[in-house]
Structure 1
Amino acid sequence: MKTISRHFYGDSEKTAFSISIVENMKEDYGLFVWPCSIVLAEYVWQHKLRFSGNNVVELGAGTCLPGLVAAKVGSNVTLTDDANRLEVLENMRGVCELNNLKCEVLGLTWGVWDASIFSLHPKIILGADVLYDARGLKLLYDILVPLIYAETKR
């Protein structure tokens, strides 16, 4: 079952913008806005000056709410999720289009070498609810190291 959720950002007197997210309750994990994603997106909004103009990568983006908020406040955003989850990647592209945002969407499978990560040069790396199994910690570490290394060698 597909639904669209709307998330509003601004202050108590005026909404600055909203983000629409297509969710699919049938899909395993990746197409549902988890609570931590909402909290991280609010953090991005509250710290928008820190994000504006910077390269941002969202790992395990799923519905990509934090990354979309980062794009809305002026970040250059690359949204990533498992390269084998084509439905999730396609949904990410569709949600960017739905919200009139230009973000790069990249299939990135943790634990599988992909030289494209060296071209990303993120100043900020986002990830919300990306670990639901402790076995993923090493894979997360293995993807973070080259992302951080690529930026520090610039």
Structure 2
Amino acid sequence: MNILKLTSGREISYLNEVEIRMGIDERNGEERYKNELENMGISDITVHKYEGGFKIWECTIDLCDFIEENKSKFEGKSVLELGCGAALPSILTAMHGAKEVFAQDFNASVIEFFTVPNFEENPHSAIVQGEAMGWDDVPTKLNGRKFDFILSSETIYNEDDYQNLHDAVAATIKDDGVAWFAAKFFYFGVGGSVPSFCQFINERGVLVASETKVITASVPRRIIEIRKVL
């Protein structure tokens, strides 16, 4: 078992690679999810095939620290995590009293062998649902469900996904809700960036996006806050 220790000292448990592999082997995962798992451990991301859900990314830790700084806000709230992977941010909100958590990832193998087991390894009383779908499916599959908080980390690297991310947030955020996206300022060699994402969101006039926290590092990072235009 791995432990993520936050700046505050709080710890979140998550499965290590050996435990993930054991789960895959025990439940015939290689056969059931062959197309998803064939690149696991070989590449971080194979676009729209395997989206890196078994890896803990830098900005996931940033988002967890930011949630910890705002921990009093989650009691009794509903939370959606987009592109959840390990789901450490949404697990943390559950530990801070979130009532309902929905964790979405592109890959069903990630949900079954990483997301759900990680929730089971940490103390909380939230109602948890994990489901695999694309961001373009979120508005229809969630069928009108609205959330107080929407969380996402390391998901804005591909500008081709901006419209689907915008629509997923617009369809699921409550009128007084907030979305927090943790991201690198620029994704060199890939195309996405914080400025281009915020510009895309703001130009559509449905949501408003702004930088709410700066993380200083060799590769600068940001927390983006998104709210509904009322």
Common fold: TM-score over 0.5? yes
Match of 1:79 in 2: 103
* TM-score normalized with structure 2 length: 0.55
Larger Rg: 2
Q: Which amino acid aligns with 2:92?
A: V
In structure 2, which of residues 5, 10, 18 is the aligned counterpart of residue 8 of structure 1? 5
Secondary structure at the residue paired with 1:130? coil
Match of 2:63 in 1: 40
1:129 paired to 2:154: yes
* TM-score normalized with structure 1 length: 0.80
Unaligned 5+ runs, structure 2: 18-39, 46-51, 177-230
Q: CA deviation at 1:130?
A: 1.1
Per mean C-alpha deviation after superposition, the further-off stretch among 125-134 and 104-113 is 104-113
Provide the C-alpha distance between the structure 1 equivalents of 2:123 and 2:143, rounded to a whole number of angstroms.
Answer: 25
Supply the RMSD in Å over aligned alpha carbons. 2.2
1:63 paired to 2:111: no
Match of 2:164 in 1: 139
Aligned residues: 141
Secondary structure at the residue paired with 2:101? strand
Unaligned 5+ runs, structure 1: none
Match of 1:19 in 2: 12
Provide the C-alpha distance between the structure 1 equivalents of 2:101 and 2:157, rounded to a whole number of angstroms.
Answer: 24
Q: Give deviations 1:98-131, integer Å, cap 9, x for gaps.
A: 2244422122311235342422x21111111112
